[in-house]
Structure 1
Amino acid sequence: MQKIILYISIALLTIVNSVVAQEKTFEQKAKEIAVQIKTITEEEKRALKAEVEALDKAVELGKMTKEEAATSKAKIAEERAKNIETKIAAQEKALRDLVNGNVNEEESNDSLKKNSFTIVDGSFRSKNYDKNKSENRTTSQAVFAGGYNNLVTDGAVANSQFGYGRSGFYEWGVTWNTRLSNNSNLLHLKYGVGFMYNQLHATDNRVFADINNQTVLVDAGVETKAKRTYFKNVYFVVPMHLEFDFSKTKIVDDKKVFKSHTGARFGIGGFVGVNTNSKQFIEYEQNGYKFKEKQKGDFNVNDFTYGVSTYIGYRATSLYLKYDLNPIFKNNPVNQNNISLGIRFDWN
């Protein structure tokens, strides 16, 4: 929960500060941290692309096989994702220190008086926000989503082996939204980067186990606490959607004024990503003692993920659905694909 609060804090501070120009106060320092996070992500993506291109070149020259290249790609993708997590952790600490009071209180109060903000169309805006001026062709948003998560087994999600109410997901990241036409606000290309967390709470006191390179549910052997025993996958993802934005277009001084995220919106697209870690948490009591176990390993989870997603909503809030097209586990005889349904927030 503390991490979720921290991520939402980063998103909100980024939104507020993107429209406020000022001296190096609390808001400005927070914006610099957000920029650092964005820079880290872009640098690691560029480095990963260069390494993948080098491997493809080696295959063309006959220096390695396609299988060797695929193995190397999976390894470097995981390393780059871990680099992002490690480097962003330092920025998260800097933000935490800032929020905890490492800024001069008087300076921060003066800044708030000069640069107060309000909520317009569901997003944080400066008091100087001009409703009669068009947005830039490309805008950016902080995204947070959360809701229910489960597995589709043999094409059905009914009679699942995982609790419907307990199993959940959350996702956070940054997106860029580009209007595709000079004269119409309808079509936008929405793309970005982020992290996706999928959790599964098995029913009937079961946990996952790796048996003969297959990941199956087995009895835990002890009476576990159902709400605190779960399996979690974390992915670094790149989403992309075609967004239909039905926000009204104003005419001011015979010119069209384009604003996004001020009306109904519908998006359809998908995502690709890489698994950064898989963990299982088991909590139980025995002989009057409380035990907490954290198991981290491969669990035969697919290294890469890809799927389709869609959302429909109004202004910043949408109903969000995503489905993984590839199965969660590599070698299981029955395919199980992740599916999530929840609420999504896109803050301009």
Structure 2
Amino acid sequence: MKAITFYVMALLCFVATKMHGQTFAQRAAKISENIEKITKEEKDSLKVEVDAVNLLLEKNEISTNDADDRKREYAEKRARNIENRVGVEEEKLAALVKDKVDGKINENFHTKRLKISYDTDGNELKNDSTENKWHEYKRTTSQFVYALGVNRMVKDGAAADGFAWRSDFYEVGVTWNTRLLKDHNLLHAKYGLSLQYNNLRPDGDKVFAVDGNQTMLVDFGRKVDVARLRYVNLVVPAHLEFDFTKKKVKDDKVYFPTYKSFRVGIGGYAGLNVKEKQIIKYHDENDNKVKNKTKGDYNVNDFVYGLSAYVGYDAFSIYAKYDLQEVFTHSFAGYNNFSLGVRFDIN
């Protein structure tokens, strides 16, 4: 599943780069590439360090306990390196999104064309001077989508016990937006491909545990700094979008720009769960920081489908989504995931 997630992310970045050329999406794709590179570098370094410890152990130069301690120390160091280095890249991405929303990244909608004239005999004459030509707004446009917010397990309108509002989600993807009416800008069909990262964070010192086909919350037995279950969904979203951007007229020709006014979208999504992982951070009896990651099957539903809507202005909107299927199979019966946050649709 990790390979699937990686290739989907690569596909999203590739599509975004093709859509936007040498602009925002290419820079976002470069940041994603850096994150993958950092992770690989640190894991490769850890493998070299662990192999060196195993060699010492084979030569009886260190004890088994010493070997385990060294491996644990190296693993914690590399995990910290990944967290710190990736954190820098995530800050770059956040700053990039902010610059785009603030209009600091220029997307030029004008092109140049060469003036061509003819002499009295009909021969073509080329003039070195150029003129601006208004670029025609296409009926179908494309966007890079980034969203983030909070998650909440709910049942019959009530929140599940044991979970905090600090549970969170973020979503990255690409979409296409097609104007449905030939001579009016109001109705659009919006569709695409997204990865939804959902985090569920238990209250107190609880963590997730699996007993067969049952997933439950259990006491960890010590103070927990961070505990979260992350599950990733690959979905196809589809919305009917109402765009109140007014048409433009230039040189007696009508143009239909998008994402220049208020927008409302209603629709849904459907897809597959591609990865599950629990992350626990705590201090051991020696007050050392410990971070455990456990990948596996936490009985999260393999299929996901739900309703979603957004309302906003320009590229920014308030975003809500609700999973119609229950989060877990056989566990937390009747509980679904509700998400509320902000969304950026960047042309």
Alignment partners' CA distance in 1, 2:275 and 2:20 = 36
Say if 2:159 is the partner of 1:161.
no
1:134 to 123, 133, 136: 136
Q: How much does 1:91 deviate?
A: 10
Q: Could you tell me whether the CA contact under 8 Å between 1:173 and 1:195 is conserved in 2? A: yes
Map of 1:177 onto structure 2: 177
What is the SS of the residue equivalent to 1:300? coil
Output one character per residue of 1:101-149: Cα deviation in whole Å (capped at 9) or x when no partner. Answer: xxxxxxxxxxxxxxxx998979741273689543111100000000111
Output one character per residue of 1:9-43: Cα deviation in whole Å (capped at 9) or x when no partner. Answer: x979957x7566xxxxxx39x85996xxxxxxxxx
What is the SS of the residue equivalent to 2:245? coil
Q: Could you tell me whether the CA contact under 8 Å between 1:121 and 1:262 is conserved in 2? A: no
- Unaligned runs of 5+ residues in structure 1 are 1-6, 21-26, 35-87, 98-116
* CA separation of 1:119 and 1:216: change in aligned 2, threshold 3 A: closer
Q: Give the structure with the higher percent strand.
A: 2
Q: Could you tell me whether the CA contact under 8 Å between 1:118 and 1:126 is conserved in 2? A: no
Map of 1:148 onto structure 2: 150
Map of 1:315 onto structure 2: 314
Q: How much does 1:93 deviate?
A: 4.6
Q: Could you tell me whether the CA contact under 8 Å between 1:119 and 1:125 is conserved in 2? A: no
Q: Could you tell me whether the CA contact under 8 Å between 1:19 and 1:126 is conserved in 2? A: no
* CA separation of 1:92 and 1:119: change in aligned 2, threshold 3 A: same
Alignment partners' CA distance in 1, 2:303 and 2:15 = 31
Map of 2:289 onto structure 1: 290
Q: Could you tell me whether the CA contact under 8 Å between 1:309 and 1:320 is conserved in 2? A: yes
What is the SS of the residue equivalent to 1:125? coil
Q: Could you tell me whether the CA contact under 8 Å between 1:247 and 1:262 is conserved in 2? A: yes
Map of 2:278 onto structure 1: 280
- Unaligned runs of 5+ residues in structure 2 are 1-8, 42-98, 112-131
Q: TM-score, normalised by structure 2?
A: 0.65
Say if 2:218 is the partner of 1:218.
yes
Q: Could you tell me whether the CA contact under 8 Å between 1:150 and 1:157 is conserved in 2? A: no
Regions of 4+ moved over 6 Å? 10-13, 88-91, 117-123
Map of 1:24 onto structure 2: none
* CA separation of 1:162 and 1:19: change in aligned 2, threshold 3 A: closer
| AA matched with 1:196 | Q
* CA separation of 1:119 and 1:173: change in aligned 2, threshold 3 A: closer
Output one character per residue of 1:248-293: Cα deviation in whole Å (capped at 9) or x when no partner. Answer: 1122233221001011000000001111111111111121222211
* CA separation of 1:92 and 1:206: change in aligned 2, threshold 3 A: closer
Relative contact order, higher structure (CA 8 A, sep 6+): 1
Q: Percent identity?
A: 44
Q: How many residue pairs align between the two structures? A: 255
Alignment partners' CA distance in 1, 2:209 and 2:100 = 51
